[in-house]
Structure 1
């Protein structure tokens, strides 16, 4: 595999806008760590080794509450099960070497998926993909460290910082909608979320993703049949 460092400059440009969004979100997590009573370096450890975005915010609360391991494991599964669907379109096959594939899998975040699966990234080599992932990872972990170090300067009970993850998801969704304009897919996603909320409120994320995947499969087959009928 080619050395990813050769793509360092271009990786910063590739991941720049999304990475700059991950930086304040990481800082928000760092501030919460500082106000939780943990040492500041825990923000660096969690963001660097766990690197799970929204799960880190939940994990912090579970750790402080001394939650059972089963609760931690089930929460991690339900929150991160979406990465199974991300992996279906993530270009892992372009990354060579066991170490590269291992890091590419580990660093498959929402932001990395959005950057590496857009239309302009279809021809990126593996080194460039890993470079973009590493830059986003560095923004997140660096932001968490800065937030934890500066956390003592932020007033107690920083309200609204846990909304940073939701705000980033909204920004990523809007960016994807601009790249692939169309109303049916967002409406399908919204309908699946509402239906999951009614049917399975305790497992909303897993149920919503399952319904959304099933809906996409049905839509794909339906459009394939209608397209074939029109050509006939």
Structure 2
């Protein structure tokens, strides 16, 4: 049984998202002992990792007599947890920066204008086809997002009427990249970076940011 304060601290630290797959769980999140209680693990904050049902099952059940796949080690689980907690802290810091700059004139960017933006890169999962509604029934899609230290506004042309639309308070950009970018640029996840590309407004169910940042063919 987890002490109330340990449970609350862990859930706040992870924002009720799984520390391994980063899926938002809401009520469907469980606290896992990194070192099992049966092996002397205590119900402390240091020995706790919040996980979704699927990752909890993977972390907690493994047959050493009939191994299949690769077992989660205690060290790996701690690294997953610590990395995710640091990510949440970075996002909270961005929130505070936005609040502190409420009266500052936001940077204005135009659709298809080549711009260089600084931000924090992180990976986020979303419900995908067919309904883009539920992690339980829809295919999961994972994208890299650029979290901006200060909001910007985007001027874009309406897809239907060609009239100019001003999209304000843009804080999170979904990165549009070449397929090989994911493998060649893993080191930028959970880091502050500077990227160059073109912005465009969200149009389809595959777009989950306040806007999109196409960096294909550009250099970080």
TM-score when scaled to structure 1?
A: 0.26
Structure with the bigger percentage of helix: 1
TM-score (norm 2): 0.28
